[in-house]
Structure 1
């Protein structure tokens, strides 16, 4: 292999076989770096969340705390949408990041002073973790055209998978040296750095790859509830909202099951004398290792599978694969509940969700207007996910308190919910095809 051929092979491999056009490299690498730092931060903050909530509370309290996140977002999303209209996309991203960094420092200071912050931090982090990522992808989908986004988002999304993996690896080691508040401070620093490469991208994306944010702009809606109105008025957006709610309902039900299994493992281990560390350290180490494996697998899927699957099998197959795997997994566990294997299924579920499903879901927004990319997305992603959490908390309460279920009894319910999620995914694929065909017909008639 000649030196020039080796260089071309390396570039194709590094960029996942994506066709890069002149002037696109700097911008896409900057977006990659920004998303890398955002997800690196998230996986410093998640073990801190688990360390606090499972030492001050229980898996059941954890499931109820998730529900409060939906109530927080119900108040916050209208304000987010209203303020997004007054700033350009990059400036707004800087403002949101600065607010989140300040809040993190405040939580760390309050916790160090002796205040109980586990539940408020848990609630805030759940809202933050989806909002900051939705904010990034809204910025990206406005920055790039639909054609460029469908090519380049695969590379950008690799930053998420790699950042999550490296972050989980770092947190797995850092829990031995830092408490939850130290992890918060570290996360505040890396989050502050994340906006720097986004600024480079803002200046580097060539004109031919930029999106036209005014091309499909909807008439301005002055109501602060414009995002909710948009979602309720368009079938495509409503289906996406339903899908996100159901997908997160299934996932958080699985997270409850994993937490319950972890509590049982710790109780049995301490009783048998095989576990000698305190519960906070045990939980931190478990989730550090769990997220490390999840995100390593996510990186491998993103690097070797996602771009090739989208290019060879098409968007529809790529989008449907994750809900299909989740349904088959929970259905098989319902028929043969081997709980010892549950953690491995959760690794597979989360890895596909964070890599393949996340990339495909961001592509759903590319043909939409700026208002839909910001305000409707803020309803569909952050609020939709947290509404799924709220419904999950209700299911856990009814199951445990009224029906007197044990944790294993939730597995058949999760399988049924996964079937509904798969059905919504199929409807979204059909609606997307109809919308794209209608847009192409309009272009041909003009």
Structure 2
């Protein structure tokens, strides 16, 4: 009886996390490894983020130039990355990318400790640009692999739990950074210099490479698909192929990918507007620096904890019951309502509550749903076009929105009017999200005949697929 009760509780937990459909053996193995890998990657980023931010705090007017340099570096790096992807396989690509990032962390550590005093500032600026690229690029290539090895249906079920691993890693990385930078008086041996933290980060990033070996292509469908198409290798061990420039131009040739670009661009624009609104309102309402820092820290704590729980138990349910399109619309609608509220009452409690709710909804719902969008595009687009969208388009939106807000501010628009402009942009975002959701449904419908054919072939190959050795 006790065993039956335990089984029922376990089944209910699994249903809450992944839906009522049972997990296959390879799925049950791959999901924890995927969550662990993205947790390590994001944990590494949040561990070194204070080092980057401390450098930024000393750059003054140069900071805007460094932000522009980040955008330029991404533009230059994308063709190089596309060329590497063309000659690689997913099983080799990510270990190579993370290995290179780890080596660069070691190189920055050596440069910061050995460079002459007059050169240190330039090494620090180079590190700021590199870290800004790493923060979006390392996560983008990981989700490209997820979109490749999992199907659209599996993405809706599993991506929330995988994203929760990233949130947990971010919390642990931030906590670890705080601990080694300012350890308790009873544990002085834990103290590590900001430069020394780069070596620790290089080691943790290499651990993610080991975790990648536990992630395998969607066992039944991917292997069956390979058999149907006469392929001998699983999808994650095939070369990606394709041309360099065609894949980078894909976001502007495909209405579907252009919709993804528009969605991310408008998210970035509204995020910048809200950040500037928050900065102004908090600055006017709270004079004490320590109190301002405390309210931001409390906000981050609430967002991280609630996001982790929501990613585990809400993201998959939302995508499976409401659909990807409706899930994508949630954050734009909340953003529109929030900015409308700020036009009427630009006050502290409203802007902070708006920020908290929006960030939780974005990380817990919109981000996993956005990653599901790439499960139905070509393999080239999953690795090349996706990386271009996540890096170049994202930073372009960040740069353009910053200049736009500053330009409107020059004309003397108050907080309420600026919130009204943001509300108009949010309304456009709602429309884009709705159109993107419909476009995704059409993409899924077109892929349905192939999925049914794969499903019929699955029983013949499921055993070998789920019992294969790590790649």
Tell me the TM-score range normalised by the shorter chain: 0.7 to 0.9
In 1, are the aligned partners of 2:167 and 2:307 still within 8 Å (CA)?
Answer: yes
Q: CA deviation at 1:189?
A: 2.5
Q: CA deviation at 1:140?
A: 1.6
Pair 1:328-2:337 in alignment = yes
Equivalence for 2:423 = 415
Which range is displaced more, 15-24 or 435-444?
435-444
In 1, are the aligned partners of 2:18 and 2:158 still within 8 Å (CA)?
Answer: no
Q: Distance in 2 between matches of 1:444 and 1:30?
A: 28
Mapping for residues 133-282 of structure 1, pairs under 5 Å: 133-177=139-183, 178=192, 180-202=194-216, 206-208=219-221, 212=225, 221-222=242-243, 224-258=244-278, 268-269=287-288
Q: Distance in 2 between matches of 1:443 and 1:30?
A: 25
Q: CA deviation at 1:432?
A: 1.4
Partner deviation per Cα, 1:413-437 (whole Å, 9 max, x = no partner): 3322222222211110111122223
Which range is displaced more, 166-175 or 295-304?
166-175
Structure 1 residues 120 and 337: alpha-carbon distance in aligned structure 2, compared to 1, 3 A threshold? farther
Of 438, 441, 445 in structure 2, the residue corresponding to residue 437 of structure 1 is 445
Q: CA deviation at 1:97?
A: 0.6
Q: Distance in 1 between matches of 2:131 and 2:451?
A: 43
Mapping for residues 121-140 of structure 1, pairs under 5 Å: 121-140=127-146
Q: Distance in 2 between matches of 1:138 and 1:420?
A: 27
Pair 1:25-2:28 in alignment = yes
Q: CA deviation at 1:111?
A: 4.1
Q: CA deviation at 1:37?
A: 0.9
* Structure 1 unaligned residues grouped into runs of 5+: 276-281
Q: Distance in 2 between matches of 1:240 and 1:389?
A: 16
Q: CA deviation at 1:302?
A: 0.8
Structure 1 residues 291 and 443: alpha-carbon distance in aligned structure 2, compared to 1, 3 A threshold? closer
Q: Distance in 2 between matches of 1:306 and 1:62?
A: 36
Q: Distance in 1 between matches of 2:361 and 2:11?
A: 25
Q: Distance in 1 between matches of 2:349 and 2:374?
A: 38
Q: SS at the partner of 1:438?
A: helix
Q: Distance in 1 between matches of 2:449 and 2:130?
A: 45
Which range is displaced more, 16-25 or 404-413?
404-413
Partner deviation per Cα, 1:104-163 (whole Å, 9 max, x = no partner): 333344445551255433332232111111100111221223333333223222212222
* Structure 2 unaligned residues grouped into runs of 5+: 184-191, 230-234, 455-471
Pair 1:43-2:57 in alignment = no
Q: SS at the partner of 1:201?
A: coil
Structure 1 residues 415 and 439: alpha-carbon distance in aligned structure 2, compared to 1, 3 A threshold? same
Equivalence for 2:13 = 13
Equivalence for 1:3 = 3
Q: SS at the partner of 1:225?
A: helix
Q: CA deviation at 1:340?
A: 4.7
Partner deviation per Cα, 1:74-93 (whole Å, 9 max, x = no partner): 11111111110111102110
Q: Distance in 2 between matches of 1:328 and 1:251?
A: 14
Structure 1 residues 212 and 387: alpha-carbon distance in aligned structure 2, compared to 1, 3 A threshold? farther
Q: Distance in 1 between matches of 2:295 and 2:105?
A: 23
Pair 1:101-2:102 in alignment = yes
Q: CA deviation at 1:13?
A: 1.7
Structure 1 residues 165 and 443: alpha-carbon distance in aligned structure 2, compared to 1, 3 A threshold? closer
Q: Distance in 1 between matches of 2:60 and 2:284?
A: 15
Structure 1 residues 255 and 68: alpha-carbon distance in aligned structure 2, compared to 1, 3 A threshold? farther
Q: SS at the partner of 2:26?
A: coil
Which range is displaced more, 45-54 or 352-361?
45-54
Q: Distance in 2 between matches of 1:72 and 1:379?
A: 12
Q: Distance in 2 between matches of 1:292 and 1:374?
A: 33
Q: CA RMSD in A?
A: 3.4
In 2, are the aligned partners of 1:94 and 1:195 still within 8 Å (CA)?
Answer: yes
TM-score relative to the length of structure 1? 0.84
In 2, are the aligned partners of 1:138 and 1:373 still within 8 Å (CA)?
Answer: yes
Equivalence for 1:278 = none
TM-score relative to the length of structure 2? 0.80
Choose 1 or 2 for highest CA Rg: 2
Structure 1 residues 67 and 248: alpha-carbon distance in aligned structure 2, compared to 1, 3 A threshold? farther
Q: Distance in 2 between matches of 1:66 and 1:330?
A: 26
Q: SS at the partner of 1:337?
A: coil
Equivalence for 2:70 = 69
In 2, are the aligned partners of 1:45 and 1:183 still within 8 Å (CA)?
Answer: yes
Structure 1 residues 429 and 98: alpha-carbon distance in aligned structure 2, compared to 1, 3 A threshold? same
